[in-house]
Amino acid sequence: MSEMQQLIERMDRVEKLTLLAAKNVLQLDDVVLLTGLSKSWLYKATSAGQIPHYKPNGKTIYFDRAEIEAWLKQNRIGSVDEAGQNAADYLVRKKK
């Protein structure tokens, strides 16, 4: 692949990401780009009701950006430092 082709591909990717950043309502390809999840996984997840989505016309799938970001942030695992701080806080409360 020539340097010019690589540059064009990079510019196309930057353009796609720029357009994606401005969208609040996403289509399947947008969610693939945003999350890195595969289309097939997303289809299965929507079919099983595991991921929030919309079907206004009964066929095409749409997603709300804020809901997808919230979905990605569920089941947070805290850091070791947080666990240590929680343990220290618990001991201080228990002594009172």
Q: What would the pLDDT profile of 6-24 be if each residue is shown by its tens digit?
A: 888 888 888 887 877 788 9
- The answer, yes or no, to whether residue 72 has pLDDT greater than 80, is yes
| Percent of the residues in the chain that have a pLDDT greater than 90, as a whole number | 48
Local structure of 32: helix, strand or coil: helix
Please, what is the end-to-end C-alpha distance for the chain in angstroms?
Answer: 69
**Dihedral (C-alpha) 10, 65, 63, 46: value to the nearest 10 degrees?**
90
The mean-pLDDT minimum among 30-39, 42-51, 62-71, 85-94 falls in: 85-94
| Residue 34 contacts residue 68 (beta carbons within 8 Å) | yes
pLDDT attached to residue 40: 96
**Dihedral (C-alpha) 32, 61, 65, 46: value to the nearest 10 degrees?**
-70
For residue 27, the cross-strand partners are 62
Q: pTM here?
A: 0.69
Name the architecture of domain 3-95. Orthogonal Bundle (1.10)
pLDDT attached to residue 63: 97
